[in-house]
Amino acid sequence: MRDISTKKIIIFDLDGTLAASKSKMDDEMSDLLSGLLVTKKIAVISGGSWKQFNEQFLDQLQCRDDLLLNLFLFPTTGTRFYRYKSKIWIEVYADVLDPEERSKIKVAFETVFEEIGYKHPEKVYGEIIEDRGTQITFSALGQGIVKELGGEGVKLKHEWKEANQDLKLKIALNLRKLLPEFEVRTGGLTSIDVTKKGIDKAYGMRQIEKFLKIPISEMLFVGDALYPGGNDYAAIEAGVDTIAVSGPEETKKLIGGWL
């Protein structure tokens, strides 16, 4: 088991690490994280929106109020930062795209779909192109699929990923040509995120260093996509110690071992 005595903060990815993709965190994970918050600071960083963080994570977290002071949340890959103060969650900063940038990105998606003759699936669930302010996100099956279908939605997303891996990479590749001044990442199972240049989890780690005054050497990152091309890989590039997990069950064993 990894010794974490020298680590001040444990940083977790959300989807596929603390909870299944776009799904609610379970009670067991909530208990384990509450236990860990007694002795460690915890940060959660993910491409998901603040709304998504609330539904998937915060609403499920049963934890003593004072322990929340040790919890730091970085939605949309660290372009927003929330911390708990005087009993409420406050936004410390938000690095939003301006309206021209946002419309340029949306137009680029439409252009690429046309270029490669991509047709959206007949049945989608909610928005396909979501404007998260700091990030524009394409979700092939729609943002709301898991909310609407639960576990079946997660299954459909995995199936889409298996069948359309090359297609997704092609969309991303063509987007990068149209949007060289932006960052285009193929993050989740069915999604592509576009943000300002230089926004990745390494950026998030540097924000943690800057705002929480914790050096990189005292951080530990836990995520399910720490392989090259994965959306957690930037944590390795940032020089942070990392532990790769296969999913929430392995994360639970890890935290259980520390406790």
Which residues of the shown chain bind Mg ion in the complex (CB under 5 A)?
13, 15-16, 224-225
Question: Considering the complex, what minimum distance in angstroms separates the CB of residue 101 from Mg ion?
Answer: 26
Residue 215 and residue 5 in contact, taking contact as beta carbons nearer than 8 Å = no
Provide, rounded to whole angstroms, the least separation between the CB of residue 238 and Mg ion: 16
Alpha carbons within 13 A on the beta-carbon side of 78: 25
Question: Considering beta carbons, is residue 71 or 189 the nearer one to Mg ion?
Answer: 189
Distance of closest approach, residue 136 Cβ to Mg ion, in angstroms: 19
- Closer residue to Mg ion, CB minimum distance, 48 or 112: 48
Is the CB of residue 188 less than 8 Å from the CB of residue 232? no
Strand partners, 38: none
How many angstroms from the chain centroid is the CA of residue 91? Answer: 17
Using Cβ positions, the residue closest to Mg ion within the complex turns out to be 16
Distance CA 34, CA 148 (A): 29
* Strands 241-244 and 136-139, sheet pairing: unpaired
Nearer to Mg ion, 108 or 202 (CB): 202
Shortest gap between Cβ of 232 and Mg ion (angstroms)? 6
Closest approach of Cβ 16 to Mg ion, in Å? 4
Q: How far is the CB of 225 from Mg ion (least distance, A)?
A: 5
Neighbours of 140 (CB within 10 A): 23
219 versus 226: smaller Cβ distance to Mg ion: 226
Closest CB to Mg ion among 142 and 248? Answer: 248
In the complex, what is the shortest distance from the CB of residue 247 to Mg ion, in angstroms, rounded to a whole number? 9
Q: In what order do the strands lie in the sheet with 41-45?
A: 88-94, 80-85, 71-74, 41-45, 9-12, 219-223, 241-244
Cα–Cα distance measured from residue 101 to residue 178, given in angstroms and rounded to the nearest whole number: 12
Euclidean distance between CA atoms 113 and 119, whole angstroms: 7
Q: Do strands 80-85 and 71-74 pair parallel, antiparallel, or not at all (unpaired)?
A: antiparallel
Nearer to Mg ion, 13 or 130 (CB): 13
Residue 179 or 192: the one with the smaller Cβ distance to Mg ion is: 192
Virtual torsion, Cα 202, 69, 220, 139, nearest 10 deg: -50
Backbone angles phi, psi at 251, to 5 degrees: -60, -40
